[in-house]
Structure 1
Amino acid sequence: MAYISRKRLCISFVAGSLMLSAGGFAPVSAQEIPNDFSAIVRQKLPAVVAITTRQIIQDQTMLDDYLNPFDSRGPAQPQVREALGSGFVVSTEGYIVTNNHVVADSTEIRVVFSDKETSPARIVGRDPATDIAVLKVDPRPNMTATAWGDSDAMQPGAWTIAIGSPFGLGGTVTVGVLSARSRDIKAGPYDDFLQTDASINRGNSGGPLFNARGEVIGVNTAIVSPSGGSIGIGFAVPSRTAQSVVDQLISTGRIERGFIGVRLQEVTPSIAEALAISGSKGALVASVEPGSPAEKAGLQSGDVITRFNGKDVQNVHDLTLAAASQKPGSNATLTRNRGGNQQEVALTIGQRKDEEVQTGAVPSPEAGDQRLGMSLSPIPDEARQQLGLQPGTTGVFVQEVAPNSPAAENGLRPGDVIVSANNHNVTRPSDIQQEWTKSRQQKKPILFRIERQGQSLFVAVAVS
């Protein structure tokens, strides 16, 4: 949620007690506007869930404990923090959508349905850049699922309905209108929020925003407030973005975004005058990455990109969203202005190499579970010296290891740095997942080389 005071602007996300939080198709005609929304709520309420999470907080003292096990101070006690959010079912197979900030770094996740039944959930995938995550629970009999609507067809003034668990009050319904579209609240690089005045509060994070047909047109994510409570300014990730992210997470567990390879800046009136172009619309190319699609297409520093795939580019944000939404390997056209001359340029979209994050929480090794049981991340820069790493060492940092998991049973520990898997260097959590998948397919152990307190050793984890 975002909190605005007269002195400063602060945007943060809060889910329940964690200081992290939430906050159609063609427009419905007058003849279709209901006298009330009880029928829609009655139909959709079973598909909306409350989400409770537990997170073990590992502070710097805990990091010191497992890096220096003989420290005389003794072991620090882990702290458990609980949080609450909302979500909604998108498939009768048990897939549930919520916000990334609701479940990120959680060690235990439970879903509470409208009939008060609870179910353990695991993370299928998450995308911090758009604050979307997908959970999976075991399917229930006669499970109710929502349907996606068309957020692009929503116009300011259209009805919106939010359902969620603000302050733990499950099944809360609020109604308002769409206040605005394409809001950039500086929460991330792909901000394109719907704004609504339907009341959204702490605990609404991850819940659905419906249109008057009962279709999901947004995922409630943030609010602006001087006090922490709703003042009628809430934001939701539009279904156009959320559905694409969710589909990718369900199918692959990760996100692919388009990349053209330019660093951009806004066109100011003085820059436009200096470049001999009219107006200040477009995105100025400050530099071009060597070997990138942009360089191969002939783009140069000083070019101003004014159109992308037939749509006007008003500013840097427009181009960032447009390029990221393209499928890697697809063809695109853009219009550049160089010295006052317009020229159309064709290029092939590359794949953005955003920092990847682990796509699952530390899972309990339940029957049939084929996960390693580790929470992974890039190596923390501030911990390199304590970890005893040589300059230039690359790898993946083991944050947590689930008890009784394959990783734990074979000797992996929090604080280990995995340098290679199956003799292939690793730099991202997805590299390890890829090698683990190969090992399972070949029915052989996965071989890790790890760095532990300045020592190198090999660890083999057998496939169950």
Structure 2
Amino acid sequence: MNRFRNVAWSGAIVSLLAFVPAAIQAQEQGQAPQPVQASPVDFTQIVAEVSPTVVAIIAQRPQRERPMRGGAGDLPFGGAEPDAPPRTAAAQGSGFVISEEGHVVTNNHVIQEATEIEVLLADGSRVPAELIGTDPATDLAVLQVDDLTEGTSVASWGDSDALLPGAWTIAIGSPFGLGETVTVGVLSARSRDIRSGPYDEFLQTDASINQGNSGGPLFNAQGEVVGVNTAIFSPTGANVGIGFAVPSRLATLIVDQLIEDGEVRRGLLGVNLQQMTEVLAEALGLDDVQGVLVSQVVPDGPADDAGLQMGDIILQLGDQDIEMPRDLSLAVAELAPGTVAVLTILRGDEEMEVEVMIGELRPPETPDSPAEAPDDALPEGMRLGLALSPLPSAIRRELDLPGSSGAMVQDVVPGSPAQEAGIRRNDVIVEAGTQLVDGPGDISQAWSEAMAEDRPLLIRLLRGGASLFVALRP
């Protein structure tokens, strides 16, 4: 059930606290009264309206056999007779109806590997469901029920971007198999990255979310769906007041594609990015830390075709400012392949706009790691905390490097500038101070020049097939 440590995929009702309205306080202090946002006395009417849209999901999965204790007469480990039919176990989650055609939204992990899926409607009827499509990257799935009861309610999407921390949130689902369970809390934070996937930007709520709530809706105070309850953070596996929901802004994009095409197509730019830091900015001769640094351009990719280069700094995509690599990754992923996007970049001292036709993201191929360097290589460059050797020709051919370029990192001295910059053993250094490296001597010379001028040294290296910039400060 867990996709990462201490986060359980799917929870105490928050009491309404009495307070002195700000308008009364202002009058007592002789100030002009300020408008106060009205809060609901309770959520009875909202829950009555939206509860019929919420369903339970029952997924039959192959049961993984557990080894049995050994002993005379016991079956072999595996615990199943040779000709016995495969066993299944029921997993239960939540979902909600979003169309009169019977489309139901839930989590991918609720129905993953299911051999049979049923939906338990609010009126108690249990009907089979067809899987329309899934998106494991956002943990969303869409089902379809053909035999919807006449008059079944349909949920309405709300605007998750309009929801601010402190706003009321209402979770409805089937935790631990208990159907139609309502919990209430506030939005704790937005755009949470919990490192469960590449497109994390969860809403965080303290409305109770537990096992079985997965895939259920998170409503706002107007009864609109602003999120799909997906995960909790918990040391114990039970709710501790930190739950996460996929925001409706993202969920609607994914769900619409799944309904239309059965799959999700994401945009691709074709670059590797790094966060800009003060040290990198100084090494690049920049006064401000802004944008994200292009550390590698994928050959023949959209960025390469558009003329982007290593060392470019991307400032904007369209009108959106780019402050972190994740900003650009999320923005590009939401663009349809074939879209022409405008990037504002900084190249040297010149700011320019570049048009790029967005490609289509496909499952990445895992590059081979560089081979070990020869044991008899002689270490050089220890003044900056590195033991370097010439790059073996076999590795140079594998990395498609010209001539005799490159140097292999044999060792990194603990506490040295190289270790502080994040350089690792077996990294391949290809540039130092924007100059190509033909061997360890070039790196030593560039380091000496940086020390003499009291400035950081910009290094470009290759690690696992990817290009990376680091800055070493004397």
TM-score (norm 2): 0.65
Task: Provide closer, same or farther for how the CA distance between residues 89 and 355 of structure 1 changes in structure 2, counting only shifts above 3 A.
Answer: farther
Q: CA deviation at 1:186?
A: 0.4
Residue 134 of structure 2 corresponds to: 126
> How many Å separate the matches in 2 of 1:285 and 1:130?
26
> How many Å separate the matches in 1 of 2:65 and 2:289?
47
Residue 282 of structure 1 corresponds to: 291
Residue 310 of structure 1 corresponds to: 319
> How many Å separate the matches in 2 of 1:187 and 1:285?
24
> How many Å separate the matches in 2 of 1:177 and 1:101?
25
Offset from partner CA, 1:69-113 (integer Å, 9 cap, x none): xxxx95686342321110000001110000011111111111112
Q: CA deviation at 1:266?
A: 2.1
Task: Provide closer, same or farther for how the CA distance between residues 80 and 290 of structure 1 changes in structure 2, counting only shifts above 3 A.
Answer: same
> How many Å separate the matches in 1 of 2:264 and 2:58?
25
Residue 218 of structure 2 corresponds to: 209
Q: CA deviation at 1:256?
A: 1.2
Identify the match of residue 103 of structure 1 among 107, 111, 132: 111
Residue 470 of structure 2 corresponds to: none
Identify the match of residue 204 of structure 2 among 195, 210, 229: 195
What is the 5 A alignment of 1:8-27? Answer: 10=5, 12-14=7-9
> How many Å separate the matches in 2 of 1:113 and 1:321?
35
Residue 232 of structure 1 aligns to a residue whose secondary structure is coil
Instruction: Give yes or no for contact 1:2–1:222 (8 Å, CA) kept in 2.
Output: no
Residue 40 of structure 2 aligns to a residue whose secondary structure is coil
> How many Å separate the matches in 2 of 1:314 and 1:59?
48
Q: CA deviation at 1:346?
A: 1.4
Residue 60 of structure 2 corresponds to: 54
Q: CA deviation at 1:11?
A: 5.0
What is the 5 A alignment of 1:1-150? Answer: 10=5, 12-14=7-9, 33-57=39-63, 78-138=86-146, 139-150=148-159
Instruction: Give yes or no for contact 1:2–1:225 (8 Å, CA) kept in 2.
Output: no
> How many Å separate the matches in 1 of 2:207 and 2:155?
19
Q: CA deviation at 1:283?
A: 2.1
Residue 154 of structure 1 corresponds to: 163
Tell me, which stretches of 5 or more residues in structure 1 are unaligned? 4-8, 16-28, 62-72, 357-464
Amino acid at match of 2:197: G
Instruction: Give yes or no for contact 2:7–2:233 (8 Å, CA) kept in 1.
Output: no
What is the 5 A alignment of 1:223-242? Answer: 223-242=232-251
> How many Å separate the matches in 2 of 1:285 and 1:308?
14
Name the Cα RMSD after superposition: 2.4
> How many Å separate the matches in 2 of 1:14 and 1:76?
32
Task: Provide closer, same or farther for how the CA distance between residues 75 and 283 of structure 1 changes in structure 2, counting only shifts above 3 A.
Answer: farther
Instruction: Give yes or no for contact 2:172–2:181 (8 Å, CA) kept in 1.
Output: yes
Q: CA deviation at 1:129?
A: 0.5
> How many Å separate the matches in 1 of 2:42 and 2:271?
50
Residue 280 of structure 2 aligns to a residue whose secondary structure is helix
> How many Å separate the matches in 2 of 1:13 and 1:233?
11
Residue 5 of structure 2 aligns to a residue whose secondary structure is strand
Task: Provide closer, same or farther for how the CA distance between residues 155 and 109 of structure 1 changes in structure 2, counting only shifts above 3 A.
Answer: same
Offset from partner CA, 1:286-336 (integer Å, 9 cap, x none): 211122111111101111212111111111111100100111111211111
> How many Å separate the matches in 1 of 2:298 and 2:126?
50
Task: Provide closer, same or farther for how the CA distance between residues 281 and 258 of structure 1 changes in structure 2, counting only shifts above 3 A.
Answer: same
> How many Å separate the matches in 1 of 2:121 and 2:36?
34
> How many Å separate the matches in 1 of 2:115 and 2:57?
13
Q: CA deviation at 1:30?
A: 5.1
> How many Å separate the matches in 2 of 1:140 and 1:30?
42
Q: CA deviation at 1:211?
A: 0.5
Amino acid at match of 1:210: F
Residue 335 of structure 1 corresponds to: 344
> How many Å separate the matches in 1 of 2:99 and 2:233?
31
Residue 178 of structure 2 corresponds to: 169
Q: CA deviation at 1:172?
A: 0.6
Offset from partner CA, 1:161-190 (integer Å, 9 cap, x none): 100011111101011111111110001000
Amino acid at match of 1:46: P
Q: CA deviation at 1:50?
A: 0.8
> How many Å separate the matches in 1 of 2:200 and 2:6?
13
Residue 214 of structure 1 aligns to a residue whose secondary structure is coil
Offset from partner CA, 1:108-156 (integer Å, 9 cap, x none): 1111122221111111000001111000111321111000000111111
Tell me, which stretches of 5 or more residues in structure 2 are unaligned? 11-34, 68-80, 366-474
> How many Å separate the matches in 2 of 1:130 and 1:206?
12
Q: CA deviation at 1:338?
A: 2.0
Larger Rg computed on CA atoms: 2
> How many Å separate the matches in 1 of 2:302 and 2:273?
15
Residue 460 of structure 1 corresponds to: none
Alignment coverage as a number of residue pairs? 327
What is the 5 A alignment of 1:264-283? Answer: 264-283=273-292
| Higher-RCO chain (CA-CA 8 Å, sequence separation at least 6) | 1
Instruction: Give yes or no for contact 1:310–1:334 (8 Å, CA) kept in 2.
Output: no
Instruction: Give yes or no for contact 1:58–1:78 (8 Å, CA) kept in 2.
Output: no
> How many Å separate the matches in 2 of 1:261 and 1:167?
43
> How many Å separate the matches in 2 of 1:76 and 1:128?
32
Instruction: Give yes or no for contact 2:8–2:237 (8 Å, CA) kept in 1.
Output: no
Runs of 4+ in 1 over 4 A off after TM superposition: 29-32, 57-61, 73-77
Amino acid at match of 1:163: I
> How many Å separate the matches in 2 of 1:220 and 1:250?
20
Residue 294 of structure 1 corresponds to: 303
Offset from partner CA, 1:315-365 (integer Å, 9 cap, x none): 111110010011111121111122243222111111112379xxxxxxxxx
Task: Provide closer, same or farther for how the CA distance between residues 2 and 313 of structure 1 changes in structure 2, counting only shifts above 3 A.
Answer: farther
> How many Å separate the matches in 1 of 2:265 and 2:288?
34
TM-score (norm 1): 0.67
> How many Å separate the matches in 1 of 2:265 and 2:59?
27
Residue 230 of structure 1 aligns to a residue whose secondary structure is coil
Instruction: Give yes or no for contact 1:262–1:289 (8 Å, CA) kept in 2.
Output: yes
Task: Provide closer, same or farther for how the CA distance between residues 209 and 269 of structure 1 changes in structure 2, counting only shifts above 3 A.
Answer: same
